[in-house]
């Protein structure tokens, strides 16, 4: 399937390996239908908030439109591991934010069935002044967990993150890798319907990255959890994903079986 195909066309024959075959008949749980995202950006370079307001009051401030996503369409089935690849600034995170409901599409629609655990922006859903323990409850509540549920799973979360000695330290004193550990541990303590993983894992050390990858693989193998993965590690995408969508400079370049799309994407480097 290429960028010009509609999402409902030519879908089923694209699955290659065993896991992909298993989920090929599952119901669609993410339907991205002709989505565009347009950002308004100030057309002049303004150096301070003061300059901005003066220009605004004088009606001298003009905006130009920037299309971060241009008519993107794809469907993801329940239990599928779906990757998004593309070079820097191509719109992958923007796409994830629209799916997670953090950002509204300027045009088109996204329909999502099920609960989402979004690991998109590191620290989103956390209060850096609170301790890690307090943040586990705060972030857990945002993911829909009750206090009783967190109480009974706290040890498991802390053990997975391997940060038992740091639970009463404010999160602002954590390194980015430590924040990622807490965020990943909370998000995957149960099986969310949809797990969205952006570059969150890249700040973790290699041991923690391996642990997260194993956990993601377990969730994928359960056939119940849909995983949406954005990573610049093409090897990680190749290991985890069934299908991949390549978005380049806001345009949908290619969608299909993981290896096929990854090979085409990697060929960018040799052209
Ligand atoms: N709030 C915003 N306002 C204006 N432009 C934005 C905003 N958010 C993103 N953009 C722009 O949209 C484009 C796509 O950004 P996005 O973060 O989705 O890319 P990406 O593919 O995830 O990039 P990377 O691989 O570097 O993380 C970029 O040019 C970025 O500057």
The residue contributing the CA closest to ligand 1 atom 4 is 39
Paired tokens of 76 = 């993801």
Q: What pLDDT is recorded for position 118?
A: 83
What atom in ligand 1 is closest to the CA of residue 232? Answer: 25
**141-175 pLDDT, tens per residue?**
888 889 999 999 999 999 999 999 999 999 999 99
Higher pLDDT, 252 or 126: 252
Instruction: Please state the rounded mean pLDDT for residues 248-256.
Output: 96
| Residue 90 alpha carbon to ligand 1 centre in Å | 7
> Do residues 30 and 76 lie in contact, with contact meaning Cβ atoms separated by under 8 Å?
yes
Please report, for the chain, the start and end positions of each structural domain, with discontinuous segments joined by +: 12-114+193-270
Instruction: Compute the distance between CA of residue 92 and CA of residue 183 in angstroms, rounded to an integer.
Output: 20
Count other C-beta atoms under 10 Å from residue 123's C-beta.
17
CA 39 / ligand 1 centre spacing (Å): 10
Give the residue, by CA position, lying nearest to ligand 1 atom 25. Answer: 88
For the CA of 37, the closest atom of ligand 1 is 12
Q: What is the pTM of this model?
A: 0.83
Percent helix, strand and coil across the chain, each to the nearest 5: 40, 25, 35
Output the ligand 1 site: residues, CB below 6 A.
Answer: 39, 41, 66, 68, 86, 88-94
Report the separation in Å between the CA atom of 40 and the middle of ligand 1, taken as the mean of its atom positions.
12
- Percent of the chain scoring above 70 in pLDDT: 90
Coil, helix or strand at residue 246: strand
Domain 12-114+193-270 has CATH 3.40.50.300: yes
Q: Count Cβ atoms within 10 A of the Cβ of residue 59 and give its class: 0-12 exposed, 13-18 middle, 19 or more buried.
A: exposed
pLDDT tens string 2-40:
443 444 444 444 444 678 887 888 889 999 999 999 998
* Angle (deg, nearest 10), helices 147-161 and 176-187: 130
Alpha-carbon distance of 132 to 199, in angstroms, equals: 21
Interface predicted TM-score (ipTM) of this complex, two decimals: 0.96
């Amino acid at each position: 399937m290429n960028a010009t195909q509609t999402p409902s066309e030519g879908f089923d024959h694209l699955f290659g390996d065993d896991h992909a075959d298993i989920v090929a008949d599952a119901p669609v749980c993410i339907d991205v239908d002709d989505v565009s995202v347009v950002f308004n950006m100030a057309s002049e370079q303004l150096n301070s908030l003061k300059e901005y307001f003066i220009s605004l009051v004088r009606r001298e401030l003009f905006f130009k439109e920037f299309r971060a996503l241009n008519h993107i369409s794809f469907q993801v089935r329940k239990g599928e591991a779906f990757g998004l690849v593309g070079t820097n600034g191509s719109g992958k995170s923007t796409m994830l934010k629209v799916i997670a409901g953090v950002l509204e599409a300027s045009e088109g629609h996204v329909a999502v069935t099920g609960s989402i655990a979004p690991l998109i922006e590191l620290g989103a859903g956390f209060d850096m002044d609170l301790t890690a323990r307090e943040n586990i409850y705060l972030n857990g509540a945002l993911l829909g967990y009750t206090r009783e549920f967190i109480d009974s799973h706290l040890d498991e979360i802390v053990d997975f993150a391997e940060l038992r000695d740091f639970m009463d330290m404010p999160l602002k004193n954590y390194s980015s890798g430590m924040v990622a550990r807490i965020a990943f541990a909370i998000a995957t303590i149960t099986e969310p319907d949809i797990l969205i993983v952006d570059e969150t894992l890249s700040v973790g050390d290699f041991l923690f990255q391996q642990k997260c990858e194993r956990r993601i693989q377990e969730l994928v193998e359960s056939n119940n959890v849909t995983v949406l993965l954005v990573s610049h590690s093409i090897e990680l995408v190749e290991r985890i994903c069934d299908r991949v969508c390549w978005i380049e400079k806001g345009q949908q370049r290619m969608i299909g079986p993981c290896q096929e799309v990854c090979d085409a994407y990697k060929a960018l480097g040799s052209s």
